[in-house]
């Protein structure tokens, strides 16, 4: 029988430094991925993710705990409380996370929390919504 992998845990003998993570990071990409435009890591192991105002997608990383497993991986609890492990690559002012599907997320360290996400507000709206009522499946229905 195949042994099911168990959730990873940081090896206490090899503590990973979180100091280079703590702070606020602003995402460089602008796409439809459900990842936060701003990500803040707190010293107590809690993170918060924010989407740009008006975003139609909720952040998959909204608030939860993070655990630096080693220098190149981090485990984070997601919006549905699932723990997911991301590959991690940090430098002084850049952070790259790669999720389990291989999606790369690039962040730049923000000098000031709170302001930058709004400046990058998601004004790339979707196409105007179509009103219902014209679908053949709705034939005979009327618009009250």
List the structure tokens of 75. 């485990």
Binding footprint of another protein, residue count (CB under 8 A):
53
Rank residues 19 and 44 by Cβ distance to another protein and give the closer one.
44
Q: Which stretch binds another protein (CB under 8 A): 2-10, 16-24, 88-96, 102-110?
A: 2-10
Q: Which of 24, 40, 77, 90 binds another protein (CB under 8 A)?
A: 77
Q: Which residues contact 140 (CB under 8 A, 6 or more apart)?
A: none
SS3 41: strand
Quick check: 64 binds another protein (CB under 8 A)? yes
CA atoms of 124 and 144, how far apart (whole Å): 32
Check if the beta carbon of residue 3 is closer than 8 Å to that of residue 53: no
Residues 18-37 touching another protein, rule: CB under 8 A, are 34
Of the candidates 36, 5, 44, the residue with the CA atom closest to the CA atom of residue 122: 36
Which phi and psi (to 5°) does residue 116 adopt? -75, -35
Quick check: 114 binds another protein (CB under 8 A)? yes
List the structure tokens of 131. 């009103």
Quick check: 58 binds another protein (CB under 8 A)? yes
Quick check: 53 binds another protein (CB under 8 A)? yes
List of residues contacting another protein (CB under 8 A)? 1, 4-7, 34, 44-46, 48, 51, 53-58, 60, 62-65, 77, 79-83, 113-115, 118-119, 121-133, 135, 138, 140-144
């Amino acid at each position: 029988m195949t042994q099911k992998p168990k959730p990873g845990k940081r090896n206490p003998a090899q503590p990973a430094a979180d100091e280079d993570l703590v702070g606020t990071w602003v995402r460089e990409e602008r796409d439809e991925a459900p990842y936060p435009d701003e990500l803040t890591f707190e010293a107590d192991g809690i993170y918060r993710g924010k989407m740009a105002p008006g975003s139609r997608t909720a952040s998959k990383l909204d608030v939860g705990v993070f655990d630096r497993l080693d220098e190149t991986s981090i485990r984070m609890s997601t919006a549905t409380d699932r723990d997911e492990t991301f590959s991690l690559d940090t430098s002084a002012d850049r952070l790259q996370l790669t999720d389990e599907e291989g999606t790369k997320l690039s962040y730049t360290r923000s000098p000031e929390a709170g302001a930058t996400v709004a400046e990058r507000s998601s004004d790339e709206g979707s196409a105007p919504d179509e009103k219902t009522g014209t679908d053949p499946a709705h034939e005979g229905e009327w618009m009250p």
